[in-house]
Amino acid sequence: MTQALTNPAGSPEAAPSPRRRWTRFPKDAPRLFLVLAVLLWVLVYRALAPLSEWVVGRLPIAPHTRLSDALRFFLYDTPKVLLLLTGIVMVMGMINSYFTPERTRALLAGKGEGVGNVLAASLGIVTPFCSCSAVPLFIGFVQAGVPLGITFSFLVSAPMVNEVALALLLGMFGWKVAGLYLGLGLSIAIVSGWLLGRFKLEHLLEDWVRDMPRVDAAAGRDAMTLSDRIQAGFASVREIVGKVWPYILVGIAVGAAIHGYVPQDFMASIMGRDAWWSVPAAVLIGVPMYSNAAGIIPIIEALLSKGAALGTVLAFMMSVVALSLPEMIILRKVLKVRLIAVFVGIVAAGIMLVGYVFNAVL
């Protein structure tokens, strides 16, 4: 990561045009830029509700009809979710720049069970991670002597608790649901990793992985400045928000459209809390599915608004995001089938438990 952000080329400094000066501002005065950016963000966020009211009020549509409700929902939710997403992704991008995979590995090497699992699950949230890097990361951790269970805690938490999922849950269902998701995702990662560690399954690693030479878990020194981190934040906003905004738009549009048109308790009979089998069914359907959090949120939104129970829906979402067929196929190169089965079994069981607990409590 670090290398990507410095710019050794150094652009020649001729008399800067106004546009040039504007783009240089976050580099020249990073602190001031951050303060102003936060202020602006808060102002815009608070202005959204009255603004969307006002816009809908101006439109030539009778108030309190299905159409005006759907429109208001769309005009308020879309900028709200996009704003939350941009804010969270920007902050996470900056935090990520402190936690390269190399540093995370150095932090985890030599940690014992328990503490190590908690640390690994927490680092899973803040370390930049892409599922295509799961295997190099896995091998790198094992090579540096990070225990298997702790490595698994990281591998579960990294995809499950991600910034897009959190931003969307926060925007659509409020901080309580987002907080619960965060807490439960962490708990599943910690407990399932700890359990896997207890089973002592090191012999189920593929032989060539076990025979790889040990490496030292040293991480290079971190020489990023605040302005580098701001640039890292911009980069992840471009990358993540730039990629997921169409999904979100479609998701909210679908949500708005069905707002008035599908009966409220359509899903309640199949996915309501009275149907005991709905949680395992949701997990069974969700595990082989592969989608990122952004793609799955529209479905979640539709299910919930039509009377599906929150626990069932969250279980579905967690199993889609945390476990997937493509990832298992990649992991098969380093793990024997039995270990993959145990891994999937424990995580799926944890997700189911969370689903039931949610349905029982809420």
Partner 1 sequence: MKDIKVLGSGCSKCKLTLKLIEEVAQQQGVQVKLQKVEELRDIMAYRILSTPGVVVDGKIVHVGSVPSRDLIATWLH
Residue ranges in contact with partner 1 by CB under 8 A: 1, 3-4, 7-9, 100-102, 105, 128-130, 132-133, 135-137, 139-140, 143, 208, 212, 215, 235, 330, 333-334
Is the CB of 164 or the CB of 348 nearer to partner 1? 164
* Contact criterion met (CB below 8 Å) for 76 and 48: yes
CA distance 257 to 73: 9
CA distance 317 to 283: 8
- Shortest distance (Å) from residue 16 CB to partner 1: 18
CA distance 213 to 210: 8
CA distance 255 to 262: 10
Is the CB of 10 or the CB of 60 nearer to partner 1? 10
Phi then psi for residue 154, to 5 deg, are -65, -45
Cβ neighbours around 199 below 10 Å, total: 13
- Shortest distance (Å) from residue 1 CB to partner 1: 5
Is the CB of 77 or the CB of 327 nearer to partner 1? 327
Residue type, 225: T
DSSP element (H, E) containing 229 = helix 226-236
Is the CB of 3 or the CB of 17 nearer to partner 1? 3
- Shortest distance (Å) from residue 136 CB to partner 1: 6
Is the CB of 117 or the CB of 151 nearer to partner 1? 151
Phi then psi for residue 205, to 5 deg, are -75, 150
- Shortest distance (Å) from residue 197 CB to partner 1: 21
- Shortest distance (Å) from residue 111 CB to partner 1: 17
Is the CB of 68 or the CB of 143 nearer to partner 1? 143
- Shortest distance (Å) from residue 6 CB to partner 1: 8
Q: What angle do CA 167, 43, 163 make, to 5 degrees?
A: 15
Is the CB of 8 or the CB of 60 nearer to partner 1? 8
3-class DSSP assignment, residue 249: helix
Question: Encoding tokens for residue 304?
Answer: 């919930």
- Shortest distance (Å) from residue 308 CB to partner 1: 32
